[in-house]
Amino acid sequence: MDYTKSPLWFRIRKVLRYARMYGVSRTLAKVRGQYHMHAQYDVLPVRKKSASGARHVGIIGCGNFAFSTIAYHLNKEVGQVLRGVMDIDIHRAASLFEHYRAAYYTTDAEEVLSDPAIDLVYIASNHASHAEYAIAAIEAGKAVHIEKPHVVNEDQLHRLLATAETVGNALIRLGFNRPLSPLSQHLLTTMDTQEGTSIINWFVAGHKLDPDHWYLHPSEGGRVLGNLCHWTDFNLHLIPTEGRYPIRIIPGRADRSDCNIAVSCVFGDGSISAITFSEKGEPFEGVHEQLHVHKGDLLVSMTNFSELVIANMECKNRFRPLFRQHGHKQTILASYGMSERGGNAPGVDIEYIRQTAELFLATRVALEADREIVLDSSGIESLKASIPHQNKIFKPIESVISDA
């Protein structure tokens, strides 16, 4: 939703509410991000590619998220480390460059990728281009942060993994922020104290998108890959590795396959997860999320990453941080740790990159075909082998998997 076009009274109430939820500094960054998206220069700022100095980070894709989240947290927590920022819209690149005092801006991704002074690249472009830029960055020897989704089809996943294995010691982190939020970390640690399987329920009310929104273009993966992947990914963190497969994916949908949907997963250990995603209207406070988990004697509820309630028999504890924390800062700083100046921290495991991608790709398959499917440990290949191509109803599955 473009809040800059809303009535003044609405914008004032929105800012006041957000200041209470996120704090003044974060709210101002979000406000500036809205206006950043409309930046237009009569005369573009002078572009001077200065000596590297302390600036060693690149950004590819200078949209709202890059401006109000990635660049904001880097600037606030680390300092002026941005060197090259790129966007196909020169005005957005210039706006981010000017506000965060980067060394240069460009519309040519190759300029960022070939810059020897850059050792870490954050990729926040359109979804279909994430893997393509990431592959090029890995081949150029950069550490890479890939915003979600890191791939939009099976071919991209295969090529991304193959590139990482060929290069060797590739440093990659993904932009799934929610598991790294402070409340999530406390939740995951507490769940590890319990034996047995889990019952997991997510209710999510997402932003209402216009029919022509770029998220909804088939090549971008729709809302399943653009939004629902956050919660399919979180589910992998809630289920022990040895108990994940096979995963039965059971879709519930009406006329559309990517919003106003419900998806249930039955994992190999018997754990069950249900995700309900609604787009009935625009939530005033942004995306609304509620999580409920039952494991052993543990009953957990978490609302909007602003409150966590953990009940274990007669003991009940409530955790409420001062502001909402979705884990963006923690995720961005964890990726910064992969850079030479950040500390040379390791990237994530390649197997995790594969598993989380195959789960959201398979979820899209199930919703597109409107039928239950089973994903086993061999991944997408197991789905392809089970598709009777001669049956008309299965054609959407084949097209989704191969992105032909």
d(CA 314, CA 335): 40
Number of domains comprising the chain = 2
Q: Are residues 166 and 184 in the same domain?
A: no
Let me know if 49 is exposed, middle or buried by CB neighbors in 10 A (0-12, 13-18, 19+): middle
Residue 75 sits in the same domain as residue 96: yes
Give CA–CA dist 122/140, Å, rounded.
Answer: 14
Boundary (domain end) residue, out of 146, 174, 202: 174
**90 in the same domain as 233:** no
What 3-state class would DSSP assign to 289?
Answer: strand
Pick the last residue of a domain from 141, 174, 207: 174
Q: Give the residue numbers spanning the domain of 260.
A: 178-323+349-402
d(CA 367, CA 254): 10
- For residue 332, being part of any structural domain is answered with no
Say yes or no: 249 and 379 in one domain. Answer: yes
SS3 220: helix
Q: Both 203 and 148 in a single domain?
A: no
- pLDDT per residue, tens digit, the chain (404 aa), is 677 778 888 889 999 999 999 999 999 999 999 999 999 999 999 987 776 678 999 999 999 999 999 999 999 999 999 999 999 999 999 999 999 999 999 999 999 999 999 999 999 999 999 999 999 999 999 999 999 999 999 999 999 999 999 998 899 999 999 999 999 999 999 999 999 999 999 999 998 888 888 888 878 988 999 999 999 999 999 999 999 999 999 999 998 888 999 999 999 999 999 999 999 988 888 999 999 999 999 999 999 999 999 999 999 999 999 999 999 999 999 999 999 899 889 999 999 999 999 999 999 999 999 999 999 988 766 565 544 432 333 333 344 333 32
CATH for 370: 3.30.360.10
CATH of the domain at 165: 3.40.50.720
Check whether residue 288 and residue 390 sit in a common domain. yes
Q: Are residues 54 and 72 in the same domain?
A: yes
Looking at 174, 193, 215, which one is the last position of a domain? 174
- Residue 117's SS3 state is coil
Residue 343 lies in a domain: no
Handedness of CA 298, 303, 305, 309 (dihedral sign): negative
Tally the C-alpha atoms within 13 A of residue 279's C-alpha that lie toward its C-beta. 18
Pairing of strands 57-60, 82-86: parallel
> Are residues 157 and 242 located together in one domain of the fold?
no
The H or E element spanning position 76 is helix 71-77
The pTM of this model reads 0.92
Task: Based on the fold, state whether residues 114 and 73 are members of the same structural domain.
Answer: yes
Instruction: Report whether 321 contacts 182 (CB < 8 A).
Output: yes
Tokens found for residue 61: 């894709």
Which tokens in the block code for residue 293? 């988990």
The end-to-end CA distance of the chain, in Å, is 31
**Which residue type sits at 395?**
K
**How far, CA to CA in Å, does 200 sit from each of 206, 352, 363?**
19, 20, 17
